[in-house]
């Protein structure tokens, strides 16, 4: 997700007053099915001419169209490997029925399910996203500006879900000639109060507006957005919209964060389901996670001798290998790892209060 913006200097970068003609979102029709090697700029130019493009217009184009023109197509059997190859890092994996979806950061910055690899409207095989959508948008804009003789912006868009929001909407993956981030700091609101933190993600707003007249089922992959003040006043790449590194507030979801803290390598992590999971299943996963030894260490000598996940209340007994001090330390450490893993499982949805007891052979005792 992006680097922090610099402090505001002077007036806001773009006016906030509406266009006198109002906002217009115009579908771009007449495009034929794009094939590998097609001159995309020429086809778009011909489709745009009936709309009489103007300076300040923004063309919002489905990134999938660019992928088709570039031949970024793979065989269905290569899909999972393609997702792994495109991942800069894996944020989470979730199981939906029998399909595992990997949520990953892609090279251009955004965090997306399945690295944006998409099979919809792709009858000849799944399509990959371009590695540098900003560069693709820039090349396409240069060709269209030359062909049409107007100063328009270009956004490459894709459908994505957002953290803590249900449903999907279009966002900008690539931008050229567009004020992708519109810094309004230094201005004032309608009541005259100074704006000190408002930086508008204009690119995503334009992409979402354009999606109202295009989409997967309409066969219209592009739209022209007209009448947005300051939309092309600056050239801010879409890469700047992604928070990455230290600015990423949610680098890992809650479960994965605890698993990393417990020392699990990515290949050792279990996969949680997308749908709600019963308490017994989450308790069993916590035991599985706790039993994974840290790197460089052997497994605990303690064992889980009794688990009653459905009892009132759930109860777990960890038995030391023997009565020695070393064995008791191993057992207590294992019990704490179980409690930590149970705590992680409780972050999304509370578990019933679960007791974890440590015992030695022939003699049970509560841990100190």
- Report CA dihedral (138, 144, 145, 149) to the nearest 10 degrees: 180
Confidence of residue 305 (pLDDT cuts 50, 70, 90): confident
Confidence check: pLDDT of 20 > 80:
no
Distance CA 133, CA 131 (A): 6
The vertex-322 CA angle with 265 and 314, nearest 5°, equals: 60
What is the mean pLDDT of the segment spanning 211-216? 85
pLDDT per residue over 234-292, tens digit each?
Answer: 999 999 999 888 888 888 888 999 999 999 998 899 999 988 899 999 999 999 999 99
Confidence check: pLDDT of 15 > 50:
no
Structural element, H or E, at residue 201:
strand 199-201
**By three-state DSSP, how is residue 207 classified?**
helix
**What is the pLDDT at residue 1?**
36
User: Which residues have CB under 8 Å from 296's CB, separation 6+?
Assistant: none
Confidence of residue 105 (pLDDT cuts 50, 70, 90): very high
**What is the pLDDT at residue 307?**
81
Confidence check: pLDDT of 174 > 60:
yes
Query: How many C-beta atoms surround the C-beta of residue 231 within 10 A?
Result: 26
- Greater confidence (152 vs 193) lies with 152
- Report CA dihedral (238, 18, 185, 173) to the nearest 10 degrees: -10
Token pair of 261 as six digits: 């803290």
Distance CA 239, CA 132 (A): 9
Confidence check: pLDDT of 339 > 90:
yes
Following DSSP, what letter does each residue of 301-352 receive, concatenated? S-EEEEEETTSSS-EEEEE-SSSSHHHHHHHHHHHHHHHHHHHHHHHHSPPP
Burial class of 284 by CB neighbour count within 10 A (0 to 12, 13 to 18, 19+) = middle
State what percent of residues in the chain have pLDDT above 90: 66
Domains and CATH numbers, the chain: 24-247 (3.30.1330.100), 254-364 (no CATH)
Confidence of residue 190 (pLDDT cuts 50, 70, 90): low
In this structure, of 21-25, 118-122, 196-200, the range with the lowest mean pLDDT score is 196-200
**What is the pLDDT at residue 202?**
96
**What is the pLDDT at residue 22?**
86
């Amino acid at each position: 997700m992006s680097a922090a913006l610099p402090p505001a200097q002077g007036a806001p970068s773009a006016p906030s007053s509406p266009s006198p003609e109002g906002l217009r979102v115009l579908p771009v029709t007449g495009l034929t099915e794009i094939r590998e090697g097609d001159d995309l700029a020429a086809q778009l130019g011909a489709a745009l001419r009936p709309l009489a493009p103007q300076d300040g217009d923004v063309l919002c184009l489905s990134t999938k169209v660019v992928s088709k023109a570039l031949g970024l197509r793979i065989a269905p059997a290569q899909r999972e490997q393609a997702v792994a190859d495109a991942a800069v890092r894996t944020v989470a994996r979730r199981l939906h029925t029998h399909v595992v979806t990997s949520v990953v950061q892609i090279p251009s910055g955004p965090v997306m399910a399945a690295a944006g690899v998409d099979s919809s409207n792709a009858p000849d095989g799944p399509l990959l996203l371009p590695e540098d959508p900003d560069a693709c948008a820039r090349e396409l804009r240069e060709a269209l500006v030359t062909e049409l003789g107007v100063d328009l912006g270009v956004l490459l868009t894709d459908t994505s879900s957002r953290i803590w929001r249900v449903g999907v909407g279009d966002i900008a993956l690539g931008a050229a000639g567009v004020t992708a981030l519109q810094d309004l700091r230094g201005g004032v609101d309608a009541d005259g109060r100074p704006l000190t933190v408002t930086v508008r993600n204009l690119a995503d707003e334009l992409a979402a507006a354009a999606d109202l007249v295009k989409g997967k089922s309409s066969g219209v992959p592009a739209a022209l957005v007209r009448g947005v003040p300051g939309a092309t006043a600056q050239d801010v790449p879409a890469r700047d919209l992604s928070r990455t590194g230290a600015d990423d507030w949610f680098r890992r979801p809650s479960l994965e964060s605890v698993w990393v803290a417990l020392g699990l390598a990515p290949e050792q992590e279990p996969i949680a389901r997308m749908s709600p999971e019963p308490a017994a299943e989450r308790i069993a996963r916590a035991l599985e996670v706790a039993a994974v030894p840290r790197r460089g260490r052997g497994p605990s000598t303690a064992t889980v001798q009794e688990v009653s996940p459905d009892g009132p209340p759930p109860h777990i007994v960890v038995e030391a290998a023997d009565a020695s001090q070393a064995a008791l330390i191993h057992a207590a450490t294992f019990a704490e790892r179980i409690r930590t893993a149970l705590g992680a499982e409780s972050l999304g949805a509370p578990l019933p209060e679960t007791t974890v007891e440590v015992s030695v052979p022939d003699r049970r005792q509560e841990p100190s």
